[in-house]
A and B are shown apart, each in its own frame.
Chain A
């Protein structure tokens, strides 16, 4: 059996999808914030990644 061909028509996503996108956006924001903080600390000789102080 093969997956049925997907329609290229842009139908609406199911309701859960927007919450999923919101959560992944939050995860990206955390990654950017923690990375920026860690690199700032390290490049100023103040510490490092959380847990490596």
Chain B
């Protein structure tokens, strides 16, 4: 079968887009579900949070599976299972069963790392940033589309929505199986498969540079999902008077204003992500290495510098959020938040422009570790934000006590001028070449 890498990119992006649409479809209909089953606020919160329960462990397994069995088969299994359960949930009348089914459908969110592995197997080193950015950024839009389009198309009829989402998932799964190819050649498929054993997985998990990239992704994507949950409440409480002054007097009005500020940050973080991949390619192409300490002679050194810049910008923007909040300026706070959204995209795009180059033989395993474990940060940051005595101080606390150490560790792990992936714990015992 003749194919082209752009076709593989389109298939992966469509698969990811549809998985993200399914992932967040429960949230899009949560008011309708709550009204139908008379759910309490606590039960509604549980339903909303269940979307990310499966992500940390699920992404690790999915990443390994994509190396072992190939991305097309892994993606098709995810789409098929989630599609069938989504169809089943369309006919469910018992809430406990519906809740369990929607938790299973939320497994669709683990597909991110499978597509990262798929794209990594097809694109050249000089274009990998843009390719991965287009895949991840465009696919991410599926989450926003769920909130914007599904309620308009289906109203409160979530049963029909879940049915159609599931049916189309089965069609996308069949397309992925028919046209998807795991890699450019059989040798690459065989090599990746050989490197998907336990020893190789332990090797990736114990590399300092992999841990540094995982922390970088926790600073970017982990922060993005944390802010999605935190910001509406932050603006409602932290800028109550300023929002009332804008003319939003009812509770629903406050939610609209606060939700808008949160949505804009998330929207920018998704849609600027391909640009970040392009910037990583640009740094690489021009050989820009402006930061101290970080390696300058590695084949992908400029990409390490671009990610380092992104992490510094995220940290500065977090401090800026605290400063803007303390001044009481809603406008300054929102503008800083927009900047933070763009900087977060620099971090997410910059991280996955590097992963396939650092671990070319284990892209799925590495993507699973880096893209999976980091999502736990989405649970941790809001806890720190809410623990602060002043609601505005949480950002500075996270920046100083978490992000600054993360950046220092990143600089330390990325300082090696030769094979940074060789540095870690148990290196001799885990060396695959000698096994």
Contact = CB atoms under 8 A, between A and B. Distances in A.
Interface of A: 1-6, 8, 10-11, 13-14, 16-17, 20-21, 23-25, 27-28, 30-31, 34-35, 38-39, 41-45, 47-53
Contacts of B287: 8
Determine the main DSSP class of B at the interface with A: helix
B267 interface: yes
For chain B, the bracket of interface size reads 35 or more
Which 4 residue pairs are nearest across A and B when measured between Cβ atoms?
Answer: A45-B247, A48-B260, A31-B271, A24-B274
Contacts of B148: 50-51
Given A35-B268, A39-B334, A45 B275 contact: no
Contacts of A34: 264, 267
B151 A3 contact: no
Q: Of residues B138, B191, B261, B271, which shows the largest number of chain A Cβ atoms within 10 Å of its Cβ?
A: B271
Contact of B261 (A24, A25, A42, A47): A42
Contacts of B133: 24
Interface of B: 5-6, 124-127, 130-131, 133-134, 137-138, 147-148, 151-152, 191, 246-248, 255-257, 259-261, 263-264, 267-268, 270-272, 274-275, 277-278, 284-285, 287, 299-300, 331, 334, 338, 357, 360-361, 419
A43 B331 contact: yes
A30 B267 CA distance: 10
A27 to B, nearest CB: 5
Contacts of B419: 2
Contacts of A3: 125, 299-300, 357, 360
A6 B260 contact: no
A14 B127 contact: yes
Contact of B274 (A5, A23, A38, A52): A23
A28 B285 CA distance: 22
Given A8-B287, A35-B267, A16 B6 contact: yes
B134 A6 contact: no
Contacts of A2: 360, 419
